[in-house]
Structure 1
Amino acid sequence: MNPMAEFPNPLPKVSIDSEGPTLAQIIRHLRYANQIALRAQSFGHHPFGATLVAPDHETTLLSQGNVDTVNHAESVLIRSATTNFGPDYLWDCTLYTTVEPCAMCAATQYWGNVGRLVYGLSESRLLELTGNHPENPTLDVPCREIFQRGQKAIAVIGPIAEVEMEIANVHQAFWQNSH
């Protein structure tokens, strides 16, 4: 299970904290997650991809493409991570995902104790691309809102303007042309 549009108003540049990944690392890991999304798509799944990166901001620990409507890339990856790594270690890891996690995936990250999230495309932008597609019924609940209601200070970086268009193009082609 572990396989390897233009927007009228560009997003502002994201500031990166000194303890977190560099912008170059962020872009590299998000592009890798997008490759995983394309691989998931090649297997007939929706084009979502996620990767878990070690505290050194270089080492990829796990990667996962979307499986089905309840086994999203992020949730499957985090469930696997919690069986392979301890909570203290996971807290220092970063989850990279092509699209902002849905409510289910954000909650899985919260309970899985992964301390940082980086995403390329916001869920609201995805909704603009998918519309009311029956295979992608979006809950309009930003992941930051879910994390803010919890007791853990999960760092969130995203959306990332430097890769947003690449990810959006994959989704635009998939949702509007293929389905």
Structure 2
Amino acid sequence: MSEQNTAEPVSPQDREYLHRCVALAAEALAEGDEPFGSVLVDPRGEVLFEDRNRVKDGDGTRHPEFEIARWAAANVAPGERSGCVVYTSGEHCPMCSAAHAWVGLGGIVYAVSSEQLTAWRSGWGIPPGPVTPLPIRAVAPDIPVSGPDPVLAAEVRVLHARRHGVDESN
């Protein structure tokens, strides 16, 4: 069964945070980077930390989800981490899923799945990345997951199409 069939749907409240993630992804794209953005939210709904992709200079580990895990490890008490949620424009890669689980963060809500992104890239003739795009639950099976969000998927697709020079105006 695919991740899309096992994840919970995105709520209207979740979508508010996902809008910020998509804005961060657009910011990353404007800076010449891969279009991904993420925010860490505490149980009260306060955004604790946010970041965007920063891999353009050659460090492929500078994903915003990984940066969130590192920031949380240094700044959020271990007993409070499981109540925090990471919102992200794209589903965590295996590296970020593992970091999320090792740090002990709570749920993950994403706008588009790895399955969607992989299908888009394949359809555009873009070769696959260096790491197999596993769903979050294949790496960290106990993390609650919500997504993808059909409302934001088209917007995220446009960002990725632009990144790869794909004209989807047809």
Instruction: Tell me whether the two structures share a fold, i.e. TM-score over 0.5.
Output: yes
The runs of 5 or more residues in structure 2 that have no matched partner are none
Structure 1 contact 129–175 (Cα < 8 Å) conserved:
no
Q: CA deviation at 1:91?
A: 0.5
Q: CA deviation at 1:43?
A: 1.7
Structure 2 contact 8–145 (Cα < 8 Å) conserved:
no
Q: Does 1:23 align with 2:14?
A: no
Amino acid across the alignment from 2:135: P
Amino acid across the alignment from 1:89: E
**1:37 aligned partner:** 25
**1:61 aligned partner:** 48
Structure 2 contact 8–147 (Cα < 8 Å) conserved:
no
**1:154 aligned partner:** 143
Q: In structure 1, the residue corresponding to 2:86 is in which secondary structure?
A: strand
Q: How many residues align?
A: 157
Structure 1 contact 94–118 (Cα < 8 Å) conserved:
yes
Q: CA deviation at 1:15?
A: 4.9
Provide the C-alpha distance between the structure 2 equivalents of 1:52 and 1:121, rounded to a whole number of angstroms.
Answer: 17
Percent of residue pairs identical: 27
13, 32, 50: which is aligned to 2:38? 50
Q: CA deviation at 1:36?
A: 0.7
Structure 2 contact 115–133 (Cα < 8 Å) conserved:
yes
Provide the C-alpha distance between the structure 2 equivalents of 1:105 and 1:98, rounded to a whole number of angstroms.
Answer: 13
Amino acid across the alignment from 2:147: G
Amino acid across the alignment from 1:60: V
Listed as ranges, the matches of 1:4-23 within 5 Å are 15=8, 23=11
Relative to 1, partners in 2 of residues 1:29 and 1:146: Cα closer, same or farther, differing over 3 Å? same
Provide the C-alpha distance between the structure 2 equivalents of 1:163 and 1:155, rounded to a whole number of angstroms.
Answer: 20
The runs of 5 or more residues in structure 1 that have no matched partner are 1-10, 17-21
Q: CA deviation at 1:160?
A: 1.5
115, 135, 138: which is aligned to 1:145? 138
Structure 2 contact 121–128 (Cα < 8 Å) conserved:
no
Q: CA deviation at 1:136?
A: 3.7
Structure 1 contact 129–176 (Cα < 8 Å) conserved:
no
**1:177 aligned partner:** 166
Q: In structure 1, the residue corresponding to 2:166 is in which secondary structure?
A: helix
**1:70 aligned partner:** 61
Q: CA deviation at 1:84?
A: 0.7
Tell me the alpha carbon deviations over residues 85-132 of structure 1, each in whole angstroms, 9 at most, x when there is no partner: 112111100000111110000001001111100011010111122236
Provide the C-alpha distance between the structure 1 equivalents of 2:14 and 2:42, rounded to a whole number of angstroms.
Answer: 13
Q: CA deviation at 1:75?
A: 0.2
Amino acid across the alignment from 1:155: P
Provide the C-alpha distance between the structure 2 equivalents of 1:144 and 1:47, rounded to a whole number of angstroms.
Answer: 23
Listed as ranges, the matches of 1:92-107 within 5 Å are 92-107=83-98
Amino acid across the alignment from 1:66: N
Amino acid across the alignment from 2:155: E
